[in-house]
Structure 1
Amino acid sequence: MPTEALKVGVLALQGAFREHRRMLESLGVSVQEVRLPADLAGLSGLVIPGGESTTMGKLMLDYGLQGPIRDFHAAGGAIFGTCAGAILLSRTVLGAPPQFGSQPSLELMDITVQRNAFGRQVDSFQTDLEVSGLNTPFPAMFIRAPVIGAVGEGVEVLARQGKQVVLARQGNLLASSFHPELTRDARIHELFLTFIPQAPVYQTSVALPG
């Protein structure tokens, strides 16, 4: 299917949403920034970017997006979460700062994610990563990256850094510990596009309450 027929949202509450938008647009995809539930209308895919997962999760709740994003996926919408986005997709989150209480998440993907498992900002690194389905290594960038510590039976592991799972798929959900949008290599985004339905899957007139 031609990519120009696809309309994909990028959650634009916080984090690296502009970089994802540029990557998708370079592939010919129509992109909608998502800040309110009504912004999900007409989409068939959604990217949840990296950033600060606690802040992003709380904003997601404040703007009434948690339920509509779950409904979007239930209607067939594909979702790609990178770094903080992978945390927000997961069923179980470990390592949330105690002062913030529990980490809000969508609980859509049967994975357990450990926050900041690769260390702090100063421990950021880039490495060539062997990814299932790609002919050559991917230049993966890890920044305060989480680790996918456990996966359910329906989850396919696509890449590991050492023994740690860093890229996984469950149906049309994709979660990565690293930041593919910060490279010039579009192959992970191209992989995600293959999960997206050909037509919009979600219509809503819901707006921000109050």
Structure 2
Amino acid sequence: MKPHVGVLALQGDVREHLRALESCGARVSAVRRAAELAEVDGLVLPGGESTTMSRLLEVFDLLEPLRERLAGGMPAYGSCAGMILLASKVLDGRPDQHQLGGLDVIVRRNAFGRQVDSFEADLDIAGIDGGPVHAVFIRAPWVESAEPTVEVLGTVPDSPAAGPAAGRIVAARQGSVLATAFHPELTGDRRLHQLFMEIVREH
């Protein structure tokens, strides 16, 4: 039976993630309500605007149900804004911004700067075979620090072009929770979605 994977559909790259997951063999659905969340085997938190998504989690009464599912071990994958939401703490966020605490990391919001500072890079990601992953960063966060329980999967290559971003953590995993600062749903490379599907199946 196909794993049932939801995409949090409050705002952001919902369609792109649904398409990517479907092509990896998932039965997919958009999640906006607690009842829909209760039915899925795993959840993707897409890129978008983390403060808006945080507010909408409260409006749609999803904040506590989502925290409970994560605490219970539900597999989750967050890209960009999703990484921010999953983190235990955020720097440069809004004071009223909610954190889901699925990943024991401190992330810095908009770490790479504003929209003009969006960029692309080829990254080696642990657990991903077949060469580097082409990563698209759009007003992306980075992981400022991670607890020892967090596995670092990828960092920005140390090059003159990287500047202050060199060596920063941009992909991480803790148990059944996966997060990237970039947007694999925008490139057509399905390897990160396949990795998440493996996590869902194992779980």
TM-score > 0.5, shorter chain as reference: yes
Alpha-carbon separation, structure 1, partners of 2:118 and 2:13 = 16
Kindly state the Cα deviation for residue 72 of structure 1 after the two structures are TM-superposed.
1.5
In structure 2, what residue type is equivalent to 1:118?
F
Q: Which runs of 5+ in 2 are unaligned?
A: 157-165
Report SS of the residue matched to 2:200.
coil
CA deviation map 1:11-64 (0-9, x unaligned): 000011111001111112111100011111221100000100000000001111
State the match for 2:40 in structure 1: 43
SS at match of 2:39: coil
RMSD of the TM alignment (CA)?
Answer: 1.3
- The ranges of structure 1 where at least 4 consecutive aligned residues each deviate by more than 6 angstroms after the TM superposition are none
Secondary structure of the structure 2 residue equivalent to 1:196: helix
TM-score (norm 2): 0.91
Give the distance between the partners of 1:184 and 1:25, measured in 2 at CA.
13
For residue 105 of structure 1, give the secondary structure of its aligned residue in structure 2: coil
Say whether 1:107 aligns with 2:101: yes
Q: Name the structure 2 match of 1:196.
A: 200
Decide whether the 8 Å contact of 1:113 with 1:149 is kept in 2: yes
* CA distance in structure 2 between the partners assigned to 1:197 and 1:133 by the alignment: 16
Q: Which amino acid aligns with 1:46?
A: L
Q: Which residue of 2 aligns with 1:93?
A: 90
Corresponding pairs, count: 193
Write the distance in 1 (CA, Å) between the matches of 2:62 and 2:90. Answer: 19
* Local SS of the residue matching 1:41: helix
> Structure 1: which 5+ runs fail to align?
200-210
Q: Distance in 2 between matches of 1:45 and 1:56?
A: 18
* AA at the equivalent of 1:128: D
Q: Which residue of 1 aligns with 2:186?
A: 182
Q: Is the 8 A contact 2:77 2:178 kept in 1?
A: yes
TM-score between both structures, scaled by the size of structure 1: 0.88
One-letter identity of the residue aligned with 1:93? V
How far apart are 1:75 and its partner, in Å? 3.1
The AA in structure 2 aligned to 1:127 is A
Q: Does 1:53 align with 2:50?
A: yes
Aligned partner of 2:162 in structure 1 is: none
Deviation of the 1:119 alpha carbon: 1.1
User: Residue type matched to 1:194 in 2?
Assistant: E
User: Quick one: percent identity of the two aligned structures?
Assistant: 49
Q: In structure 1, give the amino acid aligned to 2:101.
A: E
Q: Does the 8 Å contact 1:9/1:47 carry over to 2?
A: yes
1:133 aligns with one of 104, 127, 133: 127
Partners in 2 of 1:159 and 1:21 — Cα distance? 24
Q: Could you tell me which residue of structure 2 aligns to residue 123 of structure 1?
A: 117
Deviation at 1:86, TM superposition (A): 0.4
Aligned mates of 1:148, 1:198 — CA distance in 2: 26
Distance between the aligned counterparts of 1:5 and 1:75, measured in 2? 21
Written as runs of structure 1 = structure 2, the 5 A alignment for 1:138-177 is 138-161=133-156, 162-177=166-181
Structure showing greater relative contact order (alpha-carbon pairs closer than 8 Å, 6 or more residues apart): 1
